[in-house]
Structure 1
Amino acid sequence: MKVLVIGSGGREHAIVWKLKQSPKVTELYCAPGNAGINEIVVGVDIKADDVEGLLKFVKENGIELTVVGPEVPLEKGIVDEFTKEGLLIFGPQKSAARLEHSKIFAKDFMKRNNIPTAAYETFSLNDKAKVYDFISNTNYPLVIKADGLAAGKGVIICGNVDEAIQTVNELFNDKIFGAAGENIVIEQFLTGVEASVFAICDGTDYIVLPASQDHKKIGDDETGKNTGGMGSYSPADRAVNHDVMKKIKQRVIEPVLKYMKSEGNEFKGCLYCGLMIDKSGDPYVIEFNTRFGDPETQVVLPTISSDLAEMFISSANGSIGNYELKLNGNFCCTVVLASNGYPDKYETGKEITGLNEISRDAIVFHAGTKSTADGKILTNGGRVLNVTGISPLGLKEAINIAYHNAVNIDFENKYNRTDIGLKGL
């Protein structure tokens, strides 16, 4: 089977790595890929959001399955376009992907269908007077979210009215997220333990992959600005035990599938549930994404022993109920190596060394990297590499493996958190 993976990050490298283990996959392509991905599969020089170019490539090359990694092509309706042409593609249609690309759509959907989430209000660019009045007369802390896609950085926690005013000014006046920030959600600040759960869905049925925990903040102890994610670990059994997972299925995943279908937005693909688990073990939805998370994918996929290509096919053709998920008992920890300055301004083009000094119980998934004609690998983004430690012995061992290998890799202005996974011990 010929398979195309769309995207260029650590998530896509992990997907490609796992798909290569499938006996079903005979040829594997990635568009546009990165330095690490293009070492193991055929890189295709087409941007991830070039739907027309990707469609042309798939038809001309007889691609039998396309897997969408990032969110932007989903927002642009790539699944609808491929499905119209009779092509098999893993991911949700555009109307279902609104669960991610419109926070307001997702919050209203949850409210309408009694799916647990934080209390909220919505405001638009035309409501400036209303929003300033609201934030001057409410309780803190609170959370302000850009309605649209903002590369994982559109969520701001405000501790007081001054911070809230500054955030609204940045969104509405400075337009730091452009059109994505012209409508906003202001919601109650929830406390508890955060967790990520991926449900692979076929419109009606689903399977759940092992839970993970992301580390969103740039600094140790969850300090500083939000990022796309600075590290992750799985399984997150302390946060999501059997009883909590049962509640997540009954209160979140099953109602989402039921009501999305009844409202005409059947959901296929990966439903990423970003959750807050309160002290009673009750889950509340912080956000939905409609694709695999990054860096959670890099720790979840190495815990799976069953065939990933079969999983994607079963989701796309409506037969996930027949798919048997098998786990291998591994514990995984991923540490993100970033360019200093991320998530703000950072430099690229720095040579990376030490990639040949990785132990056999670790994998380095490339994110923001590119290769040169003479074989050097350079930094090419904010999040550069994902060092994943894998151990059957426990999370502590996986953490140690990840950090032991992270130390061996170097590039100018390298930065990483030093506490990834510790909250799982």
Structure 2
Amino acid sequence: MMNVLVLGSGGREHALAWSIAKSPQVGDLFIAPGNGGTVQCGRNVPLDPCDAEAVIGFSKDQGIGLVVIGPEAPLVAGVADAVRAAGIPVFGPNADAARLEGSKSFSKEFMIRHGLPTARYRACDCEADALAFVRETGAPIVVKADGLAAGKGVVVADDLEEAEEAVHDCFAGAFGTAGSSVVIEECLAGPECSMLAFISDGEAVCMPCAQDHKRAFDGDRGPNTGGMGAYSPVPAVDDALETRMADIMRTAAAATKEEFGAGYRGVLYGGFMLTEEGPKLLEFNARFGDPETQAVLARFDGDALDAFLAVAEGRAGDVRPSWSDKVSVCVVLASGGYPGSYEKGKVILGIEEAEEMDGVLVFQAGTSYNADDELITSGGRVLNVVALADSFEEARELAYEACDKINFEGKQMRFDIAKRAIEV
């Protein structure tokens, strides 16, 4: 039996903990700091995921055999490096490799160096240069804060005024130090799609595709969010297209070994635009996507702990995942006002009724318990309602029926998640 520590507190981490808890090999499972739902899988511990010394100390005290890092911040902060150096297996890349997510300019340079298809771009570290390039290029155009911005540092500008405003916001500090430089890209056309792959020492084992819904409102309107829903697989991706995407991910995996040695042991997220010229990379993330993970892992039929440990030990090639034939639809329930300012502390009711429905899973994200032991909202994205069914029509109907059973003041969601899957 192996004791495991999962770092993070979102819906992604609840899904990771849920998948690990099903393994017959798991002993004690800890989630740091966890949320109101992860207590169903193991024990929440009040550790800062970015405090490497605290993580190492706890891991040694509890005999942890594997640390699984969920969010990007601990990766960029070098927590994986420190824990690995302490002799504890880690699922997650070193800080050097995590720059693939931590710096969009570094990521673009990596793509170009290794011949990976991507949009034309320019990196700018001063506002005047960025504005000059925007005016020279014209709209539509994409403006990205270079650093980590919780999935909200990207503006797809339809006109010059919007592009100039996005550039100004970045350099004015709207995204903190993440916007001290920007990446400006040509605007590609086509549907977006993501592919996750287990990566270690240059080997890649790809997972089924998923499609995220980043905009806040129906019809892909409103500001970008961390993600308002996802589904898997993606009907728009046929076998030939999936093979091309997997080939790109394998090329990227081989490049990680060339540049980082054994420093990349974890998951690589490839965000793609499916253009008329073929799939092109929009971004890399150095961790599981959120909420794509909830949709993908709901379909995972293998031993997750076995897979994560193999990757952490440099044996990604040994991972033989199996996947359910059922499709999954994940709908995010968010706090009113998200991704802007929102209130916390709203009592959540109805989760048990939703979970009693056959084929429904509820992964909690921004939740906690108040002094009266009531489950309350504590973040922007509150819950992830996942439905598994034989068809997308059935899965969507089931997911939204489950969402209707859950209530909290200010609840907001999109009503068109996976609609594209049915229209294909």
Map of 2:295 onto structure 1 = 299
Contact 1:302 1:330 (C-alpha < 8 Å) held by counterparts: no
Map of 1:360 onto structure 2 = 358
**Matches of 1:291 and 1:93, distance apart in 2:** 11
Contact 2:35 2:366 (C-alpha < 8 Å) held by counterparts: yes
Any stretches of 5+ residues in structure 1 without a counterpart?
none
Which range moves more in the overlay, 88-97 or 49-58? 49-58
Map of 1:22 onto structure 2 = 23
Map of 1:381 onto structure 2 = 379
The equivalent position to 2:211 in structure 1, one of 205, 210, 213, is 213
Deviation at 1:203?
1.6
Map of 2:249 onto structure 1 = 253
Map of 1:75 onto structure 2 = 76
**Counterparts in 2 of 1:17-416, with a 5 A limit?**
17-124=18-125, 127-173=126-172, 175-236=173-234, 238-250=235-247, 252-266=248-262, 267-280=264-277, 282-358=278-354, 359-391=357-389, 393-416=390-413
Deviation at 1:265?
4.8
Counterpart residue identity of residue 378, structure 1 = I
- Deviation per CA, 1:385-412: give whole Å up to 9, x if none: 1111111x11211111110000010000
Map of 2:8 onto structure 1 = 7
Deviation at 1:256?
1.3
- Deviation per CA, 1:10-57: give whole Å up to 9, x if none: 001111111111001011110000011123311101122222211111
Q: Which runs of 4+ in 1 moved over 3 A?
A: none
**Matches of 1:119 and 1:283, distance apart in 2:** 14
Counterpart residue identity of residue 244, structure 2 = K
Contact 1:194 1:239 (C-alpha < 8 Å) held by counterparts: no
Give me the TM-score of the superposition, normalised by structure 1. Answer: 0.96
**Matches of 2:165 and 2:138, distance apart in 1:** 16
Any stretches of 5+ residues in structure 2 without a counterpart?
none
Contact 2:142 2:156 (C-alpha < 8 Å) held by counterparts: yes
Contact 1:194 1:213 (C-alpha < 8 Å) held by counterparts: yes
RMSD: 1.1
**Matches of 2:218 and 2:261, distance apart in 1:** 39
Deviation at 1:347?
0.4
Deviation at 1:375?
2.3
**Matches of 1:374 and 1:263, distance apart in 2:** 52
**Matches of 1:405 and 1:29, distance apart in 2:** 28
Q: Secondary structure at the match of 1:264?
A: helix
- Deviation per CA, 1:145-173: give whole Å up to 9, x if none: 01100001011111111111111111112
**Matches of 1:129 and 1:10, distance apart in 2:** 39
Contact 1:232 1:335 (C-alpha < 8 Å) held by counterparts: yes
**Matches of 1:99 and 1:201, distance apart in 2:** 13
- Deviation per CA, 1:192-240: give whole Å up to 9, x if none: 111010000112212111110000000101001000000000111x232
Give me the TM-score of the superposition, normalised by structure 2. Answer: 0.96
Contact 1:95 1:265 (C-alpha < 8 Å) held by counterparts: no
**Matches of 2:253 and 2:232, distance apart in 1:** 25
Q: Secondary structure at the match of 1:327?
A: coil
- Deviation per CA, 1:69-103: give whole Å up to 9, x if none: 00000001111101111111101111111100000
Counterpart residue identity of residue 407, structure 2 = D
Deviation at 1:128?
2.7
Counterpart residue identity of residue 344, structure 1 = G
**Matches of 2:41 and 2:321, distance apart in 1:** 25
Q: Percent identity over the alignment?
A: 42
